Amino acid sequence: MEHHGVIIEDTFAEAFRMWAARLIVTAIDETQVKIAASTVCGYGTSVIGCDAEAGVERFLRPDETPDNRPGVSLLFFSFNAEKVAKALPNRTGQCLMTCATTAVYDGFPGVTKTDDSARIPLGDKLRYFGDGNQKSKVIAGRRFWRVPVMDGEFLCESSVGGVKAIGGGNFLVCGRDQRSTLAATRRAVDAMAALPDTITPFPGGIVRSGSKVGSRYKALFASTNDEYCPMLRSRGKSKLRDGVGCVLEIVVNGTSQKSIAHAMRIGIDAACAAPGVDRPIAISAGNYGGNLGKFHFKLHEVMNGGGK
Amino acid sequence: MSGYTLTWVGDSVPRPWPADGAFLQPALSELDPLALSAWPIRIGHTTRTLDHFFKIDGDLAEKNAPRKLTVRNAPRWSRVGARMTGGELIIEGDVGDELGASMTGGLIRVTGSAGHRVAGPDFGTTRGANGGTIIVNGNVGDYAGLRMRRGLVFVGGSAGASPGFRMLAGSIVIAHGALDHPLLEARRGTVLSLEHSIDTIGLRGLHLLSDEKYPVESIAALRLLLSHLRSLGVAIDESVFNGTAELWSGDRFELGKGELWQWVSGS
């Protein structure tokens, strides 16, 4: 299959079950919102080594936020609800409560505790920083904790919704060299940036160190994806087409298969539409033989509007 | 949202009339028209049906739809919406005392004014409202929010003596007028006054002490409260969001976690 003259490999991206929470963070101006977002999402690329995969879903206008201030919607993913519940208070306490003027709201306010969803304590844990001076306020049926801090008070929702989600949707942009491949991949990330319900958690949305499961070293359960490393082409296991000198991956986490498939389609389309020498040679995807994750996004189906 | 409208026609009916309005609940909109017409109202030792006093319009609320009941031109009964748990009750006109007494949920809108002890305790209990929202477009009487535990009261006009008296928690927003001894004996809770007045009685006294002035833009809880009111259709001027509010904390003789926010000025 070709798209804008770019080969779409007949393969699939393998994704797996995760749990997600959404935080709405507001602050006095857009500068503080961006600082808060970049800080709390820091070191949130892969659960291989981080407590959560985190990213900006989209920035919000004042009229879209609960307190009519500029804000941002953030998504956090981890393997299960318990791990999300451990990561969120840590990240919020260290990165948002410390960030001047911020307030934190639940992005899944209607979510209740069921088999497929959870309530994750957030302000209920952070309130103790108030040392007895904290106050709660119930507005529209939602409880908020108000923790006195040196710039006024830190407002934080008592708990946030956690939902079953999917992590590890991906595609590989196989280009000629670093500069052109990076340009095409950036186009893809930019096109995907505003899409709801998804994030691309890696630096700038782009991964250069795609991984395979396992390693020759016992301590590691993931190692470099040698089949897609151009400089290992002569070893005989390469899956790269002739002319490919650089591969960059975009990993997509989302709250549903539909949202991930849609994001992949938009991203692949943007990468394939890169002009001139930036246009990649092929688009592929990372999988583990189908044995690791139960969600398979077949590239041809995705590009034909399927994969939901 | 579907529901019934009850228009008072009782002036042409010989007394006795109902003694209070506690029977006016959004739950009535769950009844089919026949059952609603025949809904019994006890008056002393006698019983009358609802259609004896009201003209009934509208239709049965759909299953799982929010319950809504509109009441027009009824007498100024006390206890309207008492112990209400959900749905929406709209009163077109004035109401008497104990509006929304001990309510735990739902929304009451009053186009006119209300009497004393809005969101206070109902007869037989010491607890005021424990949830829900009351929006009164006009004035309210004394002790609004008496012993209130949770919930939100908005007063479009002015309030009588000591709003938030013995309040345990919750929020009262008062759009106009000077306050008279707000938050006396309150342990927690918020009273927000949206009109700057130097005539408020009880400030710089013993029970409330100033914690200085702050831009409203820096107080997320107030912005959240005001934004929520806006979402309920209350007109909150943008100058309120851009203004400054002075914080008074008290009652210092109690827990001291109550707060009076006195809006001071625009930007």
Residue B151 Ramachandran class (φ > 0 left, ψ -120 to 50 alpha, else beta): left
- Chain A contact set for B188 (CB, 8 A): 135
- pLDDT for A24: 98
- Tell me how close the Cα of A67 comes to any Cα of chain B, in angstroms: 4
pLDDT number for residue B13: 84
Q: Which tokens is A120 given?
A: 């994750």
> Which among A28, A135, A151 is the top mutation candidate for probing chain B, defined by the most B β-carbons within 10 Å of its own β-carbon?
A135
Question: How many C-beta atoms lie closer than 10 Å to residue A41's C-beta?
Answer: 22
Task: Sort out which chain B residues have CB atoms less than 8 A from A141's CB and list them.
Answer: 131
pLDDT of residue B267: 46
Residue B200 confidence (pLDDT) above 90: no
Tokens of B61: 């609320």
Report chain A's C-alpha Rg in angstroms: 21
Q: Which residues of B touch A138 (CB under 8 A)?
A: 131, 150-151, 169-170
- Taking a C-beta distance cutoff of 8 angstroms, is the pair B195, B263 a contact? yes
pLDDT digits (tens, 9 = 90+) for A174-232: 999 999 999 999 999 999 998 999 999 999 999 999 999 889 999 998 899 999 999 99
- CB within 8 Å: A67 and B227: yes
Lowest-pLDDT range of A76-85, A235-244, B205-214: B205-214
Say which of A67, A138, A141 has its CB closest to residue B220. Answer: A67
pLDDT digits (tens, 9 = 90+) for A166-179: 999 999 999 999 99
Query: Measured between CB atoms, does B225 come within 8 Å of chain A?
Result: yes
Residue A308 has pLDDT above 60, yes or no: no
Mean pLDDT of chain B: 92
The Cα–Cα gap between B181 and B260 comes to 11
List pLDDT tens digits, range B125-137: 999 999 999 999 9
Enumerate the residues of chain B whose CB falls inside 8 A of the CB of residue A29.
Answer: none
Distance CA A198, CA A203 (A): 15
Closest CA to B70 of B53, B89, B51: B89
Question: What confidence score (pLDDT) does residue B1 get?
Answer: 53
In the predicted model, is pLDDT for residue A248 greater than 80?
A: yes
Higher pLDDT, A10 or B256: A10
Chain A contact for B224, CB < 8 A?
yes
C-alpha separations of A35 from A25, A42, A45, A89, B2 in Å: 11, 11, 17, 18, 46
Chain B residues touching A68 at Cβ < 8 A: 223, 226-227, 241
By the CB < 8 Å criterion, does B152 face chain A? yes
Q: Do B218 and A151 touch (CB under 8 A)?
A: yes
Do residues A249 and A286 make contact, with C-beta atoms less than 8 angstroms apart? yes
Structure-token pair, residue A242: 């002739």
% of chain A exceeding 70 in pLDDT: 99
Q: Span B194-223, mean pLDDT?
A: 84
Q: Residue B218 and residue A67: Cβ atoms within 8 Å?
A: no
Half-sphere exposure of B56 (CA within 13 A, CB side): 20
Q: Which residues contact A296 (CB under 8 A, 6 or more apart)?
A: A12, A13, A14, A15, A287, A290
Q: Which pLDDT tens digit goes with each residue over A261-284?
A: 999 999 999 999 999 999 999 999
Cα A183 to Cα A172, A194, A279, B163, distances in angstroms: 14, 18, 9, 63
pLDDT at B9 > cutoff 80: yes
CA distances from A41 to A36, A76, A266 (A): 8, 8, 24
Q: What DSSP element (H or E) covers B240? A: helix B238-241
Residue of B nearest to A133 (CA): B257
Give CA angle at A226 (A223, A227), nearest 5°: 135
What does the pLDDT read at residue B266?
55
Which of B149, B172, B216, B223 has the highest number of chain A CBs within 10 A, making it the mutation to test binding with A? B223
Instruction: Say if CB B236 and CB B252 are below 8 A apart.
Output: no
- B34–A contact, CB cutoff 8 A: no
List CB contacts (< 8 A) between B223 and chain A.
67-69
Contacts of A155 in chain B (CB under 8 A): 220-221, 224
Question: What is the per-residue DSSP string for A251-305?
Answer: EEEESSHHHHHHHHHHHHHHHHT--GGGS-SEEE---STTSS-SEEEEHHHHHTT
pTM for this one? 0.92
Contact yes or no for B223 and A69 at CB 8 A: yes
Tell me the pairing of strands A12-26 and A295-298. Answer: antiparallel
Question: For residues A143 and B145, what is the distance between their CA atoms, to the nearest angstrom?
Answer: 19
The per-residue pLDDT for range B22-52, each reduced to its tens digit, is 999 999 999 999 999 999 998 888 899 999 9
Rounded Cα gap, residues B266 and B241, in angstroms: 8
Percent of chain B with pLDDT over 90: 78
Nearest residue in chain A measured CA to CA from B225: A139
In chain B, whose CA is at the least distance from the CA of A137?
B170
3-state secondary structure of A183: helix
Residues A37-71 pLDDT 10s: 999 999 999 999 999 999 999 999 999 999 999 99
The residue whose two tokens read 């990213």 is A55
Is B241 at the interface with chain A, CB within 8 A?
yes
| Cα–Cα nearest to B115, from B132, B130, B134 | B134
Instruction: Average the pLDDT over each of A55-59, A123-127, A165-169, A284-288 and give the range with the smallest value.
Output: A284-288
CB contact under 8 A, B220 and A69: yes
Residue B146 confidence (pLDDT) above 70: yes
Interface A–B counts its CB contacts (< 8 A) at 53
